[in-house]
Structures are given as structure tokens and as C-alpha cells.
Structure 1
Amino acid sequence: MMNKEKLKIAQQVMKDENIPFWIIYAEEGRDPTFERLIGPHVVPAVLVVSQRAHRTIVSSLDADNIEEDKMWTYSGQSRHSIESLINRALRELHFDPRERPEQTIAFNYSTMRDAKTDLLGYGVAKHVMKSIRDHFGSFKHQSAEAVIYGMYDRKSPDELKKMTIAAQRADEILKVTFRDLQPGTTEKQAYQLVHSIMNRNSAWTANCGVVKEELAWAANHCPVVLTGPNFAKGGHAGASDTQIMPGHTVYFDFGVKLTFKDGTSWCSDIQRMGYVLRGDENRAPFEVQKVFNVLVKSIDVGIAALRPGVKGYMVDEASRKIVVDAFGVNYDHATGHSLGESTHSPGTRLTGRQNPLSHLKVQPWGVYTIEPRVKIDNGGSIEEDVVVVPNGPNYTLCERQKELIYIR
């Protein structure tokens, strides 16, 4: 069934980016953007989109499985080939490069070496473009990556509601984990504790339409658990036999993937930090509290910088500067990334300028993580999932961590 809400978002991105036409030529299972907008198919299918209208072209074999008003079918024995239907669709949508040479067609290939948008094979691209040239004459083409990234980044109200449930569920699991965590537990045991808590039934998510709950990424490092001296490791390190001892900081990097009754799945990705009190302590020592306070400030700055139209590297630089200025130590990962149906969804990356994805624009109603790290012995990390509100303050999908969690 046509996802009218997502098509409307894609067409708004096309207007914002001044892209008049977009053609998705999808082989079976090769281009998820077609299935996201129209639905699954077996043989080649095409979606031709302008800023105000669209045409769908599918095989007669797939027609019964696709509910779409603006749909044409083709058959291998028909005199109307798929290429002639593409040209017919372009004519109906007022593509005329002779009269309007500034008109361009966007195709699903990448200029950024990103497999998530490099979806149209070289041979297919040559064939389709030749067919259009033979019919219309010379025309300009460009990458559709701005449309794809924008479509994935911009969330509808219903999608934001589902992502909020996913974030709140992850936060709930980690709150119980910190409550039950005992000093002397190893990182591996803490990892197993998270899994055991997750396996307990969650009636409230079922009442919200959730039919399946999974880890948001590969089970062997979901969650990531690091404590004390292991904070100097990389952020994706697997849990070890290191004990979580008094005087140690500890953090969990964790998320869930929830599938809803409508078949859509949405992810969360959060990090929470704690400290194991020594016997004579009732609060963390200065150096640990400084780590925590700097992380909170870094996230505050990142959330404030996360505005529509800002480029990803600008948010990264603003947030990262707080950590580097305070400790003289950098962290070796992005400050954040787009979040959605996967934990690393196609879209803007909040990272250094050397990454092409950092030059993409932050999107209105996008959801991005902010996850600075203090990468030192007994350091720390916090991660929040942030919604970009066009004309108002941004907000997080679940309760922010503003206080250090104590383990006794």
C-alpha cells in the first residue's frame, strides 16, 4: 500500500532541495526506498515522482499485491515496455528538458560512497538513461541521495510516537539494571543482567501495539558494558571479565527494536552512566563528577546546536569542543547519528568534516543521537535520542540523564 505520508515527506524534501523529478528503478529486494513508499515486489518496478504527483509502474504479476491509484502495469508480452511507461510518466508529469533545460532527474546512486543510497546498478542506470535520452533528448541527472536521506530523517508524528515507546522501554530496562547491579559483578554478568531484565514481559508496550521486542543491534555487543580502566577502550568493545568495583564508573550502551502491529519497526539507542560508591562515600569524588558534568554540558550544547539546516559537522564540533577543552582528550567516534528503523539510519552524521555524511543538513523532525565520551580511565559516556523541532526547543525521546546513578 502506498505510504502517502512518507511520499509527501519525500516531495517536500524535493521542493526544499530543488529536485524536480525522482525515478526509483527497483529490482527485486534491491531498493528499500521503493518498498518503503509502495510495497514489496518480485520483478522490476518503477516509481516516477515529481514535486506534486507520481506514477507507479509494476509488473502485472505484482499488481494484485500493491494498492495504488496511480499505477500502470506492464507485461513481458506487452507492446508497452517498462521503458516506454517511464517516458509516458515523465510526459504526464511535465518533464520537458528541451523547453526547460534546467529540469533534472534524480536517480538512486551515491556521490558519497554510501551503500545505503547507491542502489541503482551501473548497467541499469545506463539503460534507463539511454531510453530517456532517446525519447526526450539530452537531459541532466543527479543523485537522489538528498531526497533519500531527508525522507529517512524526517519522521511523522506516528513514527515519533513509536520511537518514543522504544526509547522509554530501553530506559526502563537500564533503570532496573542499575537498581539490581551489585558491586563485584563482571561486565559480562552485567551484560547478561540486561538480557534477563529485557526478557521479562512488558505489558505496557503490548498495550501500545508492540508485537515483537528485539535488541537494537547484534547481540554480542548489545549492550556494550564498560567500567573503570576499560573506558579507554573503543566504544564498541565487548563485555569482559573485568569486575565493576567500588570507585569505578560504569556505563551501558543499549537499545531495543520494537515491531508494531502495522509491521513497522523502530529503534532506540541510549547510554547511561553510573558510579560504584566506596564504603565511606555518599557521593562521587570530584574527578568523576567532573566527567559526568562535562558530558551533560556537551549534550546540552549539542542539543542546542541541532537545528534544521545546520550541517552535521557543526553539531559535532560544538559538542566535542566541550569535552576536549575540559580534558584535553578527544574521542574516536561520531558525536551522533541518525536514528530510525535501524540504529544507524541513512541520514546526517554528526561527525568530523572529513566524512561526507557530516555535510548533510540536519532535518526538521529528525531524530539524532548525541553521545560524547570522556575516553580516559574511569571516564564516562551518555547518549540521548533527540528530536529536532523546527520552531521550538528540541526534546529527547525519553527522560534525560541529569544525575549520576549510584551503585551501592
Structure 2
Amino acid sequence: MAETLRGFIIYLLLSVVAISCSTSSEPAPGPFSGPNPWPEIRHERIETLLPEAMERAGTEAWAVLCRSNNNDPLARHVGCENAVAPAVFLFQLQDGELFSIVFTPPGEAEALRDIALHDSIAVVSRSPGALVEAADYINRRVRGNLALNYSETNELADGLSYSQYTRFTDMLMQTVKNRIVSSEELVYEWLSVKTPAEVEILRKAAELTSKWQYEVYDMVVPGETTDRDVAGFLETKMAEAGVTDAWSPDQNPNVNSGPDRGHAHPTDKVISPGDVIQIDFGIRVYDTWVSDIQRFAYVLAPGETEAPEEIQRYWSTARDGNRMVLEVMQPGITGIEADRVQRDWMDENGSMNVMWNTGHPVGYVAHDIGPSLGGAQQGRDPHPTAFRELRAGNVFAYDGFYMWEIEGGTKTISVEEMVVITDNGAEYLTEPQNELILIRSD
């Protein structure tokens, strides 16, 4: 009971500090307090990037079936996030020109005209309905491959339910059915590249994510502060700034001052001298783009002025591995080649095998679409995207690793930074962590 009360008091104190640090009589507007730029960016992405993606994927047409309550995960990307009755959003590429038509009941037609995202709005009666009208159009007008949202390897391209698929394809002629393909390649080509405007938003999100982690480390009191207290501080910062979680709120932030817990929730473990603390934290801004950054600290024992030699070596090795991967990331290299640089460096320096990939795309979700920076680790088959080449506009969260044994399990330093691939290589989105943060305990 006393431990619970003490933890609650510390949480309140950290929350008060967070509020006092970020508020005044007139709170300054945050970096994400202005109008949401998503409508304009979405229009640009459809107009400039989708035609190229369809050409690369060898697709003439792409049909996205939308509905209420259990909508397609790509609904916001194509403009059907507000669908109520079933609707079909069809994109057709002819002679390099993209044309979009929406088959929708009257209830949503005016709203779709207002957003002016699509070339044509075909208003259909609820009976026989939008699916019937769209199928009839496709039967008459589409002669090439038709992409639908089903996939075994890409969750965001797998939004079509079995019942939707069977009902819709039953309306198509056999010659059209023969040309149905998964949209996974089209969606990969389209969403894996971010526009310059999106990169700038992700840059600001990364900067804020890192800044708050440094702030909370300044508040830690060894022997009193718990992992959950640290998480509470960061949750308060998010609420004040009007941003939300980059992934499941139960596991964001993941604060871990003991043995490795993987992707897990913070606990009531008290942070103690000798602990290496990991914070894995991300925010969602404008309800669209997410960050993913990790920062590490060591709690000095009484009388210590620096981390023990071994801890410093583990940190330096992980940091240097991160920098070595940065040097090889450039357009044309594959994800598995980047991961192999990390694995060779870990082997050379005596790290235990780390099961996680070196990195992953990040943008619309924490584990986004794009090349996987993995596949070279032991005991895990490469994901197909590990063999894909990096391209300018890809954004990654990626780690430098070192794992060793401690009492109760293992501990992993995973120096996670965010980068964007440019024509000339890779560029950090925020100042990387160069030194292990030291927390005094006396």
C-alpha cells in the first residue's frame, strides 16, 4: 500500500512539473496546433504518386470498397473515411492519366463533392446499390488488371473482408475475374514514399518525441521513480500538446529499467542505481503521421561519475552500429544489406543475437509500408520486403543493437533514430542521441 501511494505521489509530481514546464497564462501554440494539412497532402499524393504506383504495379484499375463500422484501413487515404452505406472508390489509369470515380448512395454524395478529391461522383440508389453499379462499370470499362484489397503480407492492403470479396466478385464477368490481382504491390509503391511536406511533419514529430524523453530523464529520482511514473509524465505531455499515441496506448511509452520485456507495458518497478533505462516512445500528429524514437539512460551508483566500462562499451557499440547502418542506407541498397552491416558489427563486438529487425518503415503507422531493414539475423526468415531496394522518400525508424545477459534475463540497448532516404543517402530527422544519459543517485 505504501509503495502504491508513493508511486502515485511521484506520478502527480511529475505531472505537475510537466504542466508547469509547458504552460503559462497564455499557452503558446504547439507545432501541430494549426489546420490539419492532410486534405491537401492527400490530394497531392493521389494526383502525383498514385499514377506512378499503379504503373509500377502493372495495374489499370483499383477498387476500394468502403462501409461503416468496419472500414478499409486505407479509407482515409482515398477519401472514404466517412462512408456509411457501402460505396466503391475506383481509380483507373489510362495512357498515364488517372481518373477517379466514386459510386455512392445519395447520403454521402454532397460531402464527397465538397472535399473535391475525385473526378466524378456517381450517385446511385440504395437498391441495387453502389457495388452493383461499380461492378457494371468495371465490366464495361476496365480491360487491364483490377486490384482489390487482399494480401497475405501487407496488412494495410488487406482491408477487403471475405464476404465483401465474394459478393463483389460474383458481380464481375469471368474475363474480369481472371484479371483480379492483390493491391499489395500498388499500395506498397504508393505509401512507401512520403512527400517533402510529410517528411517535414515527421521531422517535427521526431524532434518533439526526443525532446520529451530528455525532459523526463531529468525528473527521475532513483529509488523512488517507477517506470510507470516516467510513462505518466510522457502521457501528460501528449495530452497537453493535443497529440496521441503512435501505437497501442497500453504500450506507449514502453519504459523498461529491468530485464528486456520486448513490446510491453510499463510496470511499477522502481528505478534503481545500476539500471539501464529504455524509453520506446512515439506520438501521432494530425491523427495521421507517427514517430518512433528510443532514448537510453544509466543510473549512476553512489560515488559513480560515469557508467561502468562494460556498460559504456555496450552503449558505444550500439550507437556506432546505428551510425554504420546510416552510412550504407541510400537508394538502391536492399533492406537485408543494411541489416547485415548491423549483424556483422554485433558479432564482431560480442553481442548476443537480437531477434528484432534493425529497422522498419515509419509514417502512417509505427510499422509502416516499405523495405524491411531485416532478414540477416539468426533464426528468422526474411520478410519479402527485406529484398526491396530503398528509395528516396522512404522514412525509417531503425536501431543500433547490443544485447547481454543480466540477472533475470537479458538487456538490449537499441539506439532507435528516425531517418529519411534522400538522393544522396540517409538523413536524421532529429539530433541523434550521441552519449548515454547519466542520472545521479546521490
Q: Same fold (TM over 0.5)?
A: yes
Which residue pairs with 2:432 in the alignment?
A: 400
Q: Return the match for 2:421 from 388, 393, 400.
A: 388
Which residue pairs with 1:36 in the alignment?
A: 77
Q: Does 1:370 align with 2:402?
A: no
Amino acid at match of 1:341: Y
Which residue pairs with 1:160 in the alignment?
A: 199
Q: Return the match for 1:27 from 39, 49, 67.
A: 67
Tell whether the 8 Å contact from 2:281 to 2:294 is kept in structure 1 after alignment: yes
Residue-by-residue CA offset, 1:308-359 (whole Å, 9 max, x unaligned): 4544333333323322331241112222222123323344433334434544
Amino acid at match of 1:365: G
| Shift of residue 236, structure 1, vs aligned partner | 2.1
Distance 2:169 2:332 in 1: 32
Tell whether the 8 Å contact from 2:346 to 2:402 is kept in structure 1 after alignment: yes
Distance 2:49 2:74 in 1: 13
Q: Return the match for 2:237 from 187, 198, 211.
A: 198
Residue-by-residue CA offset, 1:29-65 (whole Å, 9 max, x unaligned): 4213243212321122222223421232222221111
Which residue pairs with 1:12 in the alignment?
A: 52
Q: How does 1:216-365 map to 2 (within 5 A)?
A: 216-227=246-257, 230-231=258-259, 233-259=260-286, 264-308=287-331, 310-352=333-375, 353-365=381-393
Amino acid at match of 1:63: A
Tell whether the 8 Å contact from 1:216 to 1:343 is kept in structure 2 after alignment: yes
| Shift of residue 106, structure 1, vs aligned partner | 1.6
Call closer, same or farther: CA 1:37–1:189 in 2, change over 3 Å. closer
Call closer, same or farther: CA 1:223–1:82 in 2, change over 3 Å. closer
| Shift of residue 407, structure 1, vs aligned partner | 1.6
Give SS of 1:327's match.
Answer: coil
Which residue pairs with 1:207 in the alignment?
A: none
Deviates more, 1:351-360 or 1:283-292: 351-360
Give SS of 2:435's match.
Answer: coil
Which residue pairs with 2:161 in the alignment?
A: 121
Q: Percent identity over the alignment?
A: 23
Amino acid at match of 1:374: Y
| Shift of residue 190, structure 1, vs aligned partner | 4.6
Give SS of 2:107's match.
Answer: coil
| Shift of residue 385, structure 1, vs aligned partner | 1.2
Amino acid at match of 1:406: L
Q: Does 1:110 align with 2:151?
A: yes
Residue-by-residue CA offset, 1:183-227 (whole Å, 9 max, x unaligned): 33444355256337626855xxxxxxxxx2223333433222223
| Shift of residue 137, structure 1, vs aligned partner | 5.8
Tell whether the 8 Å contact from 2:330 to 2:424 is kept in structure 1 after alignment: no
Distance 2:195 2:396 in 1: 15
| Shift of residue 276, structure 1, vs aligned partner | 2.4
Residue-by-residue CA offset, 1:158-206 (whole Å, 9 max, x unaligned): 222222222111111111112222333444355256337626855xxxx
| Shift of residue 384, structure 1, vs aligned partner | 0.6
Q: Return the match for 2:125 from 49, 65, 75.
A: 75
Tell whether the 8 Å contact from 1:216 to 1:267 is kept in structure 2 after alignment: yes
Tell whether the 8 Å contact from 1:249 to 1:379 is kept in structure 2 after alignment: no
Call closer, same or farther: CA 1:160–1:121 in 2, change over 3 Å. same
Call closer, same or farther: CA 1:282–1:400 in 2, change over 3 Å. same
Give SS of 1:386's match.
Answer: strand
Give SS of 1:71's match.
Answer: strand
Give SS of 2:425's match.
Answer: coil
Residue-by-residue CA offset, 1:263-312 (whole Å, 9 max, x unaligned): x4322111111222344443333212211121122212332343345443
Aligned length, in residue pairs: 380
Give SS of 2:74's match.
Answer: helix
Q: Does 1:47 align with 2:89?
A: yes
| Shift of residue 22, structure 1, vs aligned partner | 1.9
Q: Return the match for 2:105 from 59, 66, 89.
A: 59
| Shift of residue 395, structure 1, vs aligned partner | 1.4
Give SS of 1:368's match.
Answer: strand
Q: Root-mean-square deviation (CA), in Å?
A: 2.9
| Shift of residue 91, structure 1, vs aligned partner | 5.2
Give SS of 1:401's match.
Answer: coil
